[in-house]
Amino acid sequence: MATDGAADPVEIRLKDLRPGPPVSFIARIVQVERREITRKSDGQRRPILSGLLSDGTGTVRFTWWDPPSEEIDRGTVLRIARAEVREYLGRAEVAFTYRTRIAPAAEAELPRLGWEEMPMRRIRDLTPPDEGFRLDARVVRVAARGVAVGAEHRTVFEGRLADDSGAIGFTAWRDFSLREGEAVRIGGGYLRNYRRRPQLVLDDRSIVARLPDTRLPPAAELAAPARQSLARCEAEGGGELVELAGRVVGILPPSGLIYRCPECRRVTHQGICRTHGPVSGGPDLAARLVLDDGTGAATVNLDRAATESVIGLSLDACLERLRSTPDPSVIEELLWERLIGTCWTVRGSAYVDDFGLSVHPESIEPRPRTEAPDAADLERRLA
């Protein structure tokens, strides 16, 4: 109950939030950040929590003024009474003030959605933080991966979905027994940004049903991207599934033999991990290639398997070379000798950030030199 003795408002769903009187609802924290701000009135620092709340019908940004000192984790379900609602940039937001009552709630108390409550959407129309929709798509790719969530080790399933309007990456925090090539109807997921691209997240409240195979185009058709120029790909903000081609005109650090932290897999520098401090790093191979097609340039980030493929040497062979010449830079020099001026076709996901277009390829194949612009052609285009 509120301190003024007034009854708490009837609980509503987040999709029904409108600026006006205080509201009550149950929601899960899907993103949270603790920080401090400076009060204009007296210049003192004031703690706040901010982030996103979701109940499956919608997502709303929240601000929690003077929150408790203990950690409030992502995934926590809360019962909120008498939260204030305002509008910012055309979207509803909620604020938890001294009048707001907040208590833990059980997962089962969140509203359950039926198929009939979720509008049908297509992949090209999805933008974060959308949720509470149905999506018919085909599973193009799926793979399991182990992750650490605090002290808990979990298995997530990552991959790509596609329909005739486009493709989108997904992460499933539950095993829905998804198989590559099958057609599915998905409900109850939500969108987030990952590498500046929308990604679909499925959790314990998501629903997955199998569809007749004829409802969607064949997997081979959906998984075959059309080749495009680097300039067009950058102008469109990248893509979940692209095919690009060009000539290697540069190699960026860190490339060649690198060492990774055994805890977080980040690249170490002189035996130091920026997160875990001094560590004994494990050897690995990587390459960051600058690809140019005459219209633009992109950074292609190769993992160990792809680097071994383009350089023609395994990690063990590279380490063997270092036994006779103990200078890690010889591997980077080898990359320069074997790759500069060569032509390649890459397929995978691409995104645009402050450094331009970056590509994380799923495949990289050599391309005949006759298909790529030569130096004279590049100079003519630039002129």
Q: Of the ranges 223-227, 273-277, 347-351, which one carries the lowest mean pLDDT score?
A: 223-227
Residue-wise pLDDT for 87-124, tens only, equals 987 889 999 999 999 999 988 888 777 777 788 899 99
Comparing 12 with 153, which gets the higher pLDDT? 12
Both 258 and 376 in one domain: the answer is yes
Confidence grade of residue 383 (pLDDT, cut at 50, 70, 90): low
Confidence grade of residue 1 (pLDDT, cut at 50, 70, 90): very low
Confidence grade of residue 378 (pLDDT, cut at 50, 70, 90): low
Both 248 and 168 in one domain: the answer is no
Both 143 and 168 in one domain: the answer is yes
Residue-wise pLDDT for 196-243, tens only, equals 788 999 987 788 999 998 888 888 888 788 789 999 999 988 988 899
Q: Which domain holds residue 126?
A: 115-220
- Per-residue confidence (pLDDT) for residue 2, from 0 to 100: 39
Task: State what percent of residues in the chain have pLDDT above 90.
Answer: 46
The interaxial angle of helices 329-339 and 315-324, nearest 10 deg, is: 120
- Per-residue confidence (pLDDT) for residue 375, from 0 to 100: 53
Is residue 381's pLDDT more than 60? no
- Per-residue confidence (pLDDT) for residue 226, from 0 to 100: 76
Q: Contacts for 186-189 with beta carbons within 8 Å, 24 or more apart?
A: 186/134, 186/135, 186/136, 186/137, 186/161, 187/113, 187/115, 187/118, 187/133, 187/134, 187/135, 188/56, 188/113, 188/118, 188/131, 188/132, 189/131, 189/133, 189/135
* Domain assignment of residue 225, yes or no: no
Longest dimension (CA), the chain: 81
Across the chain, mean pLDDT equals 86
- Locate 64 and state its tokens: 């929690």
* Domain assignment of residue 1, yes or no: no
- Per-residue confidence (pLDDT) for residue 185, from 0 to 100: 94
Which of 40, 74, 109 is the last residue in one of the domains?
A: 109
Both 341 and 281 in one domain: the answer is yes
* Domain assignment of residue 6, yes or no: no
CB-based contact 13:111 (threshold 8 Å): yes
Q: Is the overall model pTM greater than 0.85, yes or no? A: no
Is residue 165's pLDDT more than 80? yes
Both 138 and 56 in one domain: the answer is no
Residue-wise pLDDT for 44-61, tens only, equals 888 899 988 888 777 889
Residue-wise pLDDT for 239-270, tens only, equals 888 999 999 999 999 999 999 998 888 899 88
Is residue 382's pLDDT more than 70? no
Q: Of the ranges 4-13, 353-362, 372-381, which one carries the lowest mean pLDDT score?
A: 372-381
Structural domains in the chain (count): 3
CA pair distance 341, 267, nearest whole angstrom:
27
- Per-residue confidence (pLDDT) for residue 359, from 0 to 100: 95
Which of 186, 220, 254 is the last residue in one of the domains?
A: 220
Both 357 and 256 in one domain: the answer is yes
Comparing 40 with 36, which gets the higher pLDDT? 36
Both 168 and 214 in one domain: the answer is yes
Both 234 and 347 in one domain: the answer is yes
* CATH number, domain containing residue 292: 2.40.50.140
- Per-residue confidence (pLDDT) for residue 223, from 0 to 100: 78
- Per-residue confidence (pLDDT) for residue 370, from 0 to 100: 58
Q: Of the ranges 5-14, 23-32, 48-57, which one carries the lowest mean pLDDT score?
A: 5-14
Both 203 and 67 in one domain: the answer is no
Which of 109, 130, 152 is the last residue in one of the domains?
A: 109
What is the arithmetic mean of pLDDT over 51-80?
Answer: 87
- Per-residue confidence (pLDDT) for residue 151, from 0 to 100: 64
Is residue 379's pLDDT more than 60? no
